[in-house]
Amino acid sequence: MFRLQNSIKHIRQYTRQFNSLVDVRPDILDLLKANKPIVALESTIISHGMPYPQNVQTAQEVEDIVRNQGSIPATIAILNGRIKVGLSDEHFEVLGKGSKNVPTVKTSRRDLAYVLSKGLNGGTTVSATSLIANSVGIDIFATGGIGGVHRDFDKTLDISADLTELGRSSMAIVSSGVKSILDIPKTLEYLETQGVCVTTYGTDEKDFPAFFSRKSGFKAPYNINSPIEAAKLIITSKTLNLNSSILIAVPVPEEYAMNGKDIDAAIEDALQNAKSSNIQGKEITPYLLSVIGKITNNQSLNTNIALIKNNARVAAQIAVELSKIKQNIQPNEAHYALPNHIKNAVVPVVVGGSILDMKCIIEDDQVKLDGATYRTKFLPNSGGGVGRNMAEGLCKLHGQVKFISKIGNDKNGEILKSLLSADCQECLEIDAEQSTATCIIVLDKAGDSKITLANMDIHQSIDSSMIRKYEQVLRSAPIVIFDANIPIDSMGTILELCKKYNKPAFFEPTDMRLATKPFTLPKELIKQIKFTSPNIYELDAIAVHLGCETLLQNDDINIEDLFQDNIMLEKVKKSSELLAEYIDNVIITLGPLGVLLTRKNTPADFKFFDTNLRYNETQSAKSDLQHRFYWAKQLSGIVNVSGAGDSFCVGFITAMLKALEESVCFSVGMECAKAAIQSPKAVPNKYFDRNHECFNQPIKYKIV
């Protein structure tokens, strides 16, 4: 078995031989000595893979994913003739932007001596990163795809240095196979010649992935299904002292995978372009990837980013289990043993606004808009925006979510980003042209809002083209949630895609002034909205837009008297019935009273989703509607009501996606609303775990 002494001896040997050329970040060196989990990352993705600032953003997000899995990222690069193992933010910027004074070279094994001797910068390829990581004692390396045998090899004799390096460096490399611009069967043959162990990950059929697509048409010799299996394979290889690498081929997540025929056609076109432009050598791969990106309208780039992030996640999990073995800690097999319908499930998608909320309380009694200065108490900034709140909440309770939104390249955007897990940021884009949406809320001493100042212009850039870019994400989602902050055209595109792939949509109206937006679309698109959750003011705005008499005879409604006021109750029911002609499930939030559901007549043990996460359509006649009122418990210790509705939806959706009964879904929703009300934040730091009683106890209701 691999021993700690061997690791320390290896590091001492590295120190003697490479100390004059290599800078290992001190924290990484300490972790190496303690056999802690570390994942090496390459840097050509920064220097030659993508445009700035997307290159730096993606690389830093990949590092965040590694950290979130319990490992430490060690991005490797060359700066001013020094090998760096572990980069700073400044290093990322230098590599990402480039330097006028110091050229940045795409650096493989053959280039290392030249780049170092000339004092240049270098983005390290798979071969150079493997060599350096192996030299300092890092065992695991995550990348997108390795190089291979090029097409037309018989004419060019072009074989990537990655392959020979894998034959002599003792590394475990997690990638999505080899780039599909290469000759995959010849590459697999060459890897066998080099003594490289090739295994797929999580696919019992052993289908070797083709980078952009999940299957290449060729098989790997082996397959492993968990980080623990991978860690045992790595430790056994090191015990045997084989001194060759293991290639762990992880298919791209299904929602990002491209159609094999489409990508093959794009590759053929790109190869012809390269040939006519006389592009050769190490320039051909970045050239081909760039051309393919243009041909596929950037879908290939999105796939590339998704698979790199997924590979980093898998590599980090393997690193954690490998560290446990080295430290003689018993691995927990059950940790990775998820039920098949959950393990293979895709995640819900939220599309909506990201807003930074700034609140202040005026402490003087009399307030006038007269230019005077008032004594004011400023509250801590917090995340806002219905879509953002629901995405953060679903991350915390459901566990996984894709959030499609935009923030600015500014401090406010950084604050919002820090509130979301790395998983939730994969579809969160940074707009360098606009500032992050910001809302300044001025409250009086009683806590009532007196004036709200907001800049929401960035939400208009969440346009149809952005939605279509994530078509594959929407296609794989069990449900698509969107708020009213986004443009009407974007709503139409979401509903078109939901209709195309038979996915239910959940519309959160957000504000009475925005609530009617989707109801200007064609009726066949509106009907793709299967759930909506208006409060009574938003319901009224929608109903009036659809031709119903207004509920509001003045500016306020005493909701607590609703069930004593038969006239008002009948108006609410009539409004919800009108809305139910379009939407299956109208969920009216009634503040401290509870929630009123209007839907086609089905029992309270009805399940909105089946165990395969497919939405259950009802067969009742349109006129056969029922109103079920689920009442809320009376609460004390109310701190904040601003996020109660968003958190209710988080709980309701989470329970739906567990295929729980209607009445239990409302139970979980109410419990989440309670957690939000008792928290100073719109989204509490934590809701509760999956063992909470609300997941098993139906909530009481009455038919009204």
- Largest pairwise CA distance in the chain: 87
User: Concatenated DSSP letters for 122-162?
Assistant: EEE-HHHHHHHHHHHT--EEE-S-B--BBTTHHHH--B-HH
Alpha-carbon gap, residue 200 to 305, rounded angstroms: 20
User: How many residues does this entry show for the chain?
Assistant: 704
Q: Give residue 114's Cα distance to chain centre.
A: 39
> What angle do the packed helices 299-326 and 54-68 form, to 10 degrees?
30
How many C-beta atoms surround the C-beta of residue 167 within 10 A?
Answer: 16
Number of Cβ atoms within 10 Å of the Cβ of 487: 16
Query: In whole angstroms, what is the distance from residue 33 CA to residue 55 CA?
Result: 31
**Which one is catalytic: 42, 61, 229, 496?**
42
- Joined together, the tokens standing for residue 325 give 């073995």
Q: Are 255 and 472 a contacting pair, CB within 8 Å?
A: yes
Q: Which of 527, 485, 405 is closest to 519 using CA atoms? A: 527
Helix (H) or strand (E) holding 656: helix 644-656
Q: Is 275 a catalytic residue?
A: no
- Calculate the CA dihedral of residues 369, 370, 373, 377 and round it to 10 degrees: -10
Cα separation, 150 vs 144, in Å, equals 17
Catalytic residue (one of 36, 84, 106, 179): 179
Other beta carbons within 10 Å of 190: 20
Instruction: Based on the residue annotation, tell me whether 42 is a catalytic residue of this protein.
Output: yes
Query: What are the angstrom distances between the C-alpha of 212 and each of 45, 254, 259, 303, 466?
Result: 16, 10, 8, 6, 20
**Cβ 46 vs Cβ 59: under 8 Å:** yes
Q: How is residue 614 written in tokens? A: 């497919």
Q: What is the DSSP code (8-state) at residue 331?
A: P
657 Cβ neighbours under 8 A, 6+ residues apart: 348, 398, 478, 479, 609, 613
- Determine the Cα–Cα distance for residues 198 and 203; give it in Å rounded to an integer: 13
> Catalytic site residues?
42, 179
